[in-house]
Structure 1
Amino acid sequence: MENYSSQSSSSDHGNNSVPPFPQNQLVPWAEEQEDDWSFQEFLSILRRRSLLMTSVTIAVLTLVVISLMITRKPPEYEGSFQLLVEPVNDDTKSVDVVKEPNSQQSSLDYDSQIQVLKSPELLRSTLKQLQASYPEINYYSLLESLKINQLEKTKIIEVRYQSSNPKQTQVVLERIADNYLDYSQVRRQTKLRQGVQFVEKQLPFIQNRVDQIQKELQLFRQKYSFNDPETQATQIASQTVEFSQQKQTVDLQLAQTRANFAIIKGKNGATTTLNNAPLYQQLITQIRQFDVQIAIESTRLQDDNPTIKALKEKRANLLPVLRQESERLLGVKFAEVATQLQTLEVQSQELAKIGRNLAKQRNELPVLTRQYTELQRKLEIATESLNRFLSTRENLQIEISQTELGWQLLQAPTTSDIPISPFTTQRDFVLGLVASILSGVGIVLLVEKLDNTYHTVDEIKKKLKQPLLGNIPFEKQVQTKQNRTSSQKIPLASIPNSLSQGVASLAVLPDQEYSDSSSNFSEALRVLYTNIQLLSSDRPIRSIVISSAMPGDGKSTVALHLAQIATAMGQRVLLVDADLRKPTIHELSNLNNLWGLSNLISTNLPVGEVTRQLPSMSQLSIITAGPIPPDPAKLLSSQKMKQLMTDFHNSFDLVIYDVPPLVGLADASLIAPHTDGLLIVVRIHKTNSSMLKVALDNLKISRLNILGIVGNAQKSTSNSYYY
């Protein structure tokens, strides 16, 4: 309803202008980028493509069954026995305490022990005994059928063997059981003692190696005062920072002292030094006072006056004292600055030596670090080797004490009379069935992903952000009636005299049966008409354009039947076939197309002569397209077409224009701005979503008013009442 909230309500039957297009009421069209399927949508996809899924599932399952039949093996029989390889009584506690206090774990490496039991050396004697009766058995075939595992986390080893001969399975298990028991009592203990002897023989050499590396590391630390690389690097870095600060301070002081020394040696240096000497300044002041007195007395006395002579004599006596004080002050200052300069130069030289020493240490640090790391690595390897040998000797001694009793046969070798192969076949069949179903579902989802059409109105509502004004179901009777009507010959009826004299064989639309008011098709059209009228709250919809993104979406069928429904609801309706490229309305209504809209635009033919009215629906009028012109867009954009649309708008309650498809053609953009809006028909299972998106993008550029969309040809199993 928002599409018309801002339109002027002053447009009525007497207004000669076409309703303006509301530019501010555009609703952006876009497809959502949501590709996630809900569970209901997933089930709907599987139901819609059930035939494809069933076909793929049957095909894959057939291949699985054929493969199982080809690769089917003879029945297999399996037997087993169990060995207790470690004692479980309380006598083992003393051994466990010796090995590792507070430890309750097993002392046997079961993974390694199982590999030993599978080794060729251990199975050699068993193979010789078996090959006497079964020559086909070799080490690799025996190992392939032999399974040895630790029974969960117990101290029990379970041995399994399977073959196609139950007797052979039993014999093999008995020979292997005897061999393993003999190994545990004799050969295994012998190997353990040999292992202890080897370890004890190697221990002195490894211990000497550890001691030698420790001595080398100690001498290295003493020679270079080297603790470890990190500490040494930190120490050198700290000394370097401290040295830099001291050198910077001494260099600054040395520069200042040299500057002072240069100033003292210069002409202005003595003056500056004497100006800062209090005694020297006092003498200068006294001499100046004598000069003032002499000058004053000379104004009233002669130069040979005793007073003037006395003053001059006192002044002359102060000059040697002033000279001596000046020489003393300059000498002291010079000596002080020279001493300070010499001291700073000595400090600078010492710091230079320290810097060279630090640089040498930094250069030597990588080499010393590498040597230290190498010694540490050698010591670590030697220590680990020593610890490993000590631990191995201890473990071997404990195992020797535990193997004195040997292994115990808990379960004697037994072979089942029931083969295990059928269960494998059943399992493979079940897995193949599951894989077949998953393959069918996968193909369905892949096809659905590649399919770019709309399959339900719910999908249209989800992906297109625009009102869904109607959902027209698929109706076979509509097509049947249209085909039957097209084969009939329609007589002349209700044609004005002026038209009947100039045009021959014009037809009228046959009486369409809408008596079945409960039909899904009819009800859907009534809902569409009602929704269109409800779009505007201030004034009714007077003219609409019906189009689609692609040909064959059913726009002309929807336009024709919508016009009939509107007429049945009491409206004076005009249906205009504005598709001047491939007109369809005259075929659907079984009318000839000798005269129509193209004649009205290009000639001065009166409107009444090409307007047809139904005998049973006097309020419904139809204007066919007429002869196809060479340039349809030129006719539709002419001023004559605009005037005709204005006249149509003023003469009828509802004007419906059937225009060509939107993609690639500008016809709809030429007509829609002079109507109340555009209605787009989307056909289920046919309309290409990408083409529809292109059409909608073009409409956004043209700024046309979109009333909404209509879903067409929806196949539904709902009954007419609840639809």
Structure 2
Amino acid sequence: MRHKPTELVRAIATVKKHWRLSLIFAVLFSGACTVIAFLTKPVYEPVARIEIDPPGSEIFSLERPGSDTNESAYVETQAQDLRGDGLAIDVIRQLNLAQNGLLVDRRLAQRVPPAADANREDLTPAESAALTAFRSRLKINRDATSHLVNISFASPDPHLAATVVNTLLTQFVEREYKTRHDAILQSTEWLARQLDDVRAKMQASNTAVSEFQQVTGLADLDADKNTYSEALTDLNRQLMHAQEERLRLQALLSGSLNQGPESLPEVDNNPVVQALSEKLAESKAELSQALVIYGREHPKVKELQHKIDELQTQLAARREAILNELRVSLAIANKHEQLLAKQMKSTTKLGDQMAQYSSLKKQAQADTQLYNSLYASVREAGVAAASKSSNIRIVDQARVLDKPTRPNRPTDILLGLVGGAIGGLVLAFLWEAVDNRIYTPEDITRWIGPSSIAILPAMEANGGGRLGLSKPLRRKRNQEVRPLFFLDKPSSPQAEAVRGLYTGVRFLGRSWTPRVLLITSSLAAEGKTTVAINLAMAMGQQCRTCLVDADLRRPGVAAAFGLNAELGLGAVLTGLVPLEDALIPSGSISNLTVLPAGPMTAAAGQLILSPAMGDVLLQLRQRFDCVIIDSPPVLPYADGRALAMGADGVVLVGRSAVTTREAMIRALQLLEEAHGAPVITIVLNATDVKLHGYNYYHNVEA
């Protein structure tokens, strides 16, 4: 039992199988890379670097940092401007690149007039050609993580390459400065015109505020106060105080009606009332003592009673006077409140004037602020126009290179070797993927399924070559090889493989041993006859064996043994001779008898399908222990399927690197559909055991 190979083992086997193809590709590819590296003209490509900051980063600028400008989009726009034709044309004309033979064809460059107008819009043919070459050699690479932009130019002349890059940067910076300066001047002119209009509006609004103050008497006390607001606030405060006083007096008088005058705090806290109350209390105390001592009719008691009455009269009069004072205060409070409310109402009527005043004041303030802002902008624009600050800074200028940028011959050759090796491996796997031929038993297991598989090593042909080698580019075929290797070379790997095949088919199980074996293949030239002959010789050494050549169209058994094939299976099936007369001893092995096919016949299919073939097989079963039938191929002819119905087992032969998996799968399907003998073994013939890593012989059961 053989374990299923791993992917690594399959990959190694694939490389070993197609190593010649991989080696040829690697050699050709690396050789081509080497030749190209040495034939390529050296090119110098110096690199310069500039930093493009967003607008507003200059020392003097009309724009403020952090404005709505998208920094990334702005830097990308400037990088695209570096690729512009206008800038390229300026550089071409300044350096006379249209006359340089490195960019323009020399015959075309000679037509350029010596004195050319640098400001003209139309281009000469030489300038157009120089512009095309300039575009193809110029590279602008922007660093997405910063504001840096790299500029390079490729040329065989290192001095020209550096000069072009530096001139391009100088032209770009000067053009950007001129564009910015012109924009500032235009802005200054527009701001100056706007400033005159705003100044007139500011003066008119301030004059309107002043005249309104004179007419209405309104004036600002400070930034947040004016005479109207102060007066209105004071009146409101007095009115609230008058209302509180009136309500307090009303509450006091209302309480005196319900609880009496003595409940009022003003009465209780009055000094006169307090003095009279004390005297009244003392008199009442003396009266109580006198009544106890003297009695009610005593003059002393009557005097004290009279005094008490007089004090009570004074106390009541005083309380009433206090109530009268409260009533008068309430009337005064009501009158005061009414007067304040009336004054408040008259003051509120001035609100319209105050609103008008506020509107005039706000307009004057807005005009003043606008004027101050425009005036400051005009001053800033003048300073910015006078300054030469810029948001574009040259970080590194291009230098003259002492070594070419490309080709880098050591690197290119190394990459060619690595690319050739990788490409060769990839080509090997691609070839393996598109190649549908069967090479190894693992291919049969992978594409057809688990089967009993035997391999037959490739045989050496005349001249020392190997018959059946699986080569990527060519394969030796139709070489004259004697098929009796089992007899001629009994110790050869092929003979050992046949012995293994014999053991496999004879000892499939203890309860059943096939006696009639059909040897067939999917197509012709796959080695079925060779397998049948040598397997019959191996069986002839062990038991009585008959080798039947049932391939009536292309018989080959008789020729292999050197026998006379005038009478054979065809004559037996047609009834010309009995079976005994057609059987011929092989001469090489005593127990091996051959039933040749006889002369080729056009009615081969009809004879094989006739009932007579069944009778022949029945007679052979009775005479011999083993019968080997060499059958025609399964796919082109139906003979093999018919013969399988009279056999005990089928051995299907395929040729390594020749038989396709589709052919073998279809042959197995046809044999299965015939409902004949089962396929007990698949023989993979002409296998290169050294290439695929097998021993001289073995059986594979997967």
With the shorter chain as reference, the TM-score category is 0.5 to 0.7
Q: Which residue of 1 aligns with 2:350?
A: none
| CA pair 174-624 structure 1, distance change in 2 beyond 3 A | closer
Q: Which residue of 2 aligns with 1:414?
A: 399
One-letter identity of the residue aligned with 1:652:
F
Secondary structure at the residue paired with 1:583?
Answer: coil
Given the alignment, which residue of 151, 154, 179 partners 2:146?
154
| Offset of residue 171 of structure 1 | 4.2
Is residue 2:457 matched to residue 1:473? yes
| Offset of residue 87 of structure 1 | 11
For the residues of structure 1 that align with 2:430 and 2:519, how far apart are their CA atoms?
A: 34
| Offset of residue 443 of structure 1 | 6.3
Is residue 2:644 matched to residue 1:672? yes
For the residues of structure 2 that align with 1:563 and 1:695, how far apart are their CA atoms?
A: 23
What do residues 652-681 of structure 1 show as CA deviations (whole Å, max 9, x unaligned)? Answer: 221111122222323223332222122211
Given the alignment, which residue of 529, 546, 563 partners 2:536?
563
Residues 288-303 of structure 1 correspond to what in structure 2 (within 5 A)? Answer: none
One-letter identity of the residue aligned with 1:588:
A
What do residues 596-622 of structure 1 show as CA deviations (whole Å, max 9, x unaligned)? Answer: 333444447554444344566332222
For the residues of structure 1 that align with 2:519 and 2:51, how far apart are their CA atoms?
A: 87
| CA pair 45-87 structure 1, distance change in 2 beyond 3 A | same
Is residue 2:546 matched to residue 1:574? yes
| Offset of residue 182 of structure 1 | 4.8
Moved more, 463-472 or 634-643: 634-643
For the residues of structure 1 that align with 2:159 and 2:66, how far apart are their CA atoms?
A: 46
The question of whether the paired residues in 2 share the 8 Å contact of 1:547 and 1:659 is answered with yes
Q: Which residue of 1 aligns with 2:288?
A: none
Residues 173-192 of structure 1 correspond to what in structure 2 (within 5 A)? Answer: 173-176=165-168, 178-179=170-171, 182=174, 188-192=180-184
Residues 253-332 of structure 1 correspond to what in structure 2 (within 5 A)? Answer: none
Is residue 2:666 matched to residue 1:698? no
For the residues of structure 1 that align with 2:608 and 2:591, how far apart are their CA atoms?
A: 26
Q: Which residue of 2 aligns with 1:73?
A: 41
Is residue 2:9 matched to residue 1:49? no
| CA pair 628-129 structure 1, distance change in 2 beyond 3 A | closer
Given the alignment, which residue of 87, 111, 116 partners 2:76?
111
The question of whether the paired residues in 2 share the 8 Å contact of 1:79 and 1:162 is answered with no
The question of whether the paired residues in 1 share the 8 Å contact of 2:42 and 2:404 is answered with no
| CA pair 402-541 structure 1, distance change in 2 beyond 3 A | farther
The question of whether the paired residues in 1 share the 8 Å contact of 2:553 and 2:602 is answered with no
Is residue 2:557 matched to residue 1:585? yes
Secondary structure at the residue paired with 1:153?
Answer: coil
| CA pair 201-667 structure 1, distance change in 2 beyond 3 A | farther
| CA pair 585-109 structure 1, distance change in 2 beyond 3 A | same
The question of whether the paired residues in 2 share the 8 Å contact of 1:593 and 1:626 is answered with yes
For the residues of structure 1 that align with 2:428 and 2:86, how far apart are their CA atoms?
A: 57
| Offset of residue 412 of structure 1 | 5.0
| CA pair 74-186 structure 1, distance change in 2 beyond 3 A | same
| Offset of residue 473 of structure 1 | 1.3
Q: Which residue of 2 aligns with 1:371?
A: none
The question of whether the paired residues in 1 share the 8 Å contact of 2:543 and 2:626 is answered with yes
Given the alignment, which residue of 523, 532, 539 partners 1:550?
523
For the residues of structure 2 that align with 1:132 and 1:656, how far apart are their CA atoms?
A: 89
Is residue 2:626 matched to residue 1:663? no
For the residues of structure 2 that align with 1:451 and 1:159, how far apart are their CA atoms?
A: 50
Q: RCO (CA 8 Å, sep 6+): is it higher in 1 or 2?
A: 1
One-letter identity of the residue aligned with 1:535:
L
| Offset of residue 650 of structure 1 | 2.4
| CA pair 198-715 structure 1, distance change in 2 beyond 3 A | farther
Q: Which has the larger radius of gyration?
A: 2
Q: Which residue of 2 aligns with 1:259?
A: none
The question of whether the paired residues in 1 share the 8 Å contact of 2:656 and 2:684 is answered with yes
| Offset of residue 561 of structure 1 | 0.9
For the residues of structure 1 that align with 2:88 and 2:505, how far apart are their CA atoms?
A: 90
The question of whether the paired residues in 1 share the 8 Å contact of 2:545 and 2:592 is answered with yes
| Offset of residue 558 of structure 1 | 0.8
One-letter identity of the residue aligned with 1:47:
K
For the residues of structure 2 that align with 1:484 and 1:122, how far apart are their CA atoms?
A: 79
One-letter identity of the residue aligned with 1:686:
V
Residues 287-686 of structure 1 correspond to what in structure 2 (within 5 A)? Answer: 405-406=389-390, 407-423=392-408, 451-465=435-449, 467-476=451-460, 512-513=487-488, 515-516=490-491, 519-568=492-541, 570-603=542-575, 605=577, 607-613=579-585, 617-629=589-601, 631-686=603-658
One-letter identity of the residue aligned with 2:532:
A
> What is the aligned-residue RMSD (CA, Å)?
4.9
Secondary structure at the residue paired with 1:588?
Answer: helix
| CA pair 590-149 structure 1, distance change in 2 beyond 3 A | closer
| CA pair 197-545 structure 1, distance change in 2 beyond 3 A | farther
One-letter identity of the residue aligned with 2:563:
L
What do residues 148-186 of structure 1 show as CA deviations (whole Å, max 9, x unaligned)? Answer: 554553344444444333334454455455555555666
Residues 230-245 of structure 1 correspond to what in structure 2 (within 5 A)? Answer: none
Moved more, 712-721 or 647-656: 712-721
Is residue 2:688 matched to residue 1:715? yes
Given the alignment, which residue of 194, 203, 215 partners 2:186?
194
For the residues of structure 2 that align with 1:121 and 1:200, how far apart are their CA atoms?
A: 33
| CA pair 551-91 structure 1, distance change in 2 beyond 3 A | same
| Offset of residue 525 of structure 1 | 1.4
What do residues 526-561 of structure 1 show as CA deviations (whole Å, max 9, x unaligned)? Answer: 221222134344222111111112222111111111
The question of whether the paired residues in 2 share the 8 Å contact of 1:84 and 1:410 is answered with no
For the residues of structure 2 that align with 1:601 and 1:616, how far apart are their CA atoms?
A: 27
| CA pair 135-559 structure 1, distance change in 2 beyond 3 A | closer
Secondary structure at the residue paired with 1:163?
Answer: coil
| CA pair 180-58 structure 1, distance change in 2 beyond 3 A | same
The question of whether the paired residues in 1 share the 8 Å contact of 2:549 and 2:557 is answered with yes
Moved more, 630-639 or 115-124: 115-124
The question of whether the paired residues in 2 share the 8 Å contact of 1:78 and 1:419 is answered with no
Q: Which residue of 2 aligns with 1:496?
A: none
Secondary structure at the residue paired with 1:535?
Answer: coil
Secondary structure at the residue paired with 2:487?
Answer: coil
| Offset of residue 651 of structure 1 | 2.7
For the residues of structure 2 that align with 1:701 and 1:636, how far apart are their CA atoms?
A: 18
The question of whether the paired residues in 2 share the 8 Å contact of 1:83 and 1:411 is answered with no
For the residues of structure 1 that align with 2:193 and 2:98, how far apart are their CA atoms?
A: 45
| Offset of residue 562 of structure 1 | 0.8
One-letter identity of the residue aligned with 1:463:
W
| CA pair 48-98 structure 1, distance change in 2 beyond 3 A | closer
The question of whether the paired residues in 2 share the 8 Å contact of 1:545 and 1:678 is answered with yes
What do residues 257-276 of structure 1 show as CA deviations (whole Å, max 9, x unaligned)? Answer: xxxxxxxxxxxxxxxxxxxx
The question of whether the paired residues in 2 share the 8 Å contact of 1:660 and 1:668 is answered with yes
Secondary structure at the residue paired with 1:664?
Answer: coil
The question of whether the paired residues in 2 share the 8 Å contact of 1:485 and 1:590 is answered with no
The question of whether the paired residues in 1 share the 8 Å contact of 2:49 and 2:148 is answered with no
The question of whether the paired residues in 1 share the 8 Å contact of 2:181 and 2:385 is answered with no
The question of whether the paired residues in 2 share the 8 Å contact of 1:148 and 1:159 is answered with yes
| CA pair 130-470 structure 1, distance change in 2 beyond 3 A | closer
One-letter identity of the residue aligned with 1:538:
S
What do residues 403-425 of structure 1 show as CA deviations (whole Å, max 9, x unaligned)? Answer: 864355544553322221332x6
TM-score of the two chains, using structure 1 as the length reference: 0.53
Secondary structure at the residue paired with 1:680?
Answer: strand
Secondary structure at the residue paired with 1:674?
Answer: coil
One-letter identity of the residue aligned with 1:560:
I
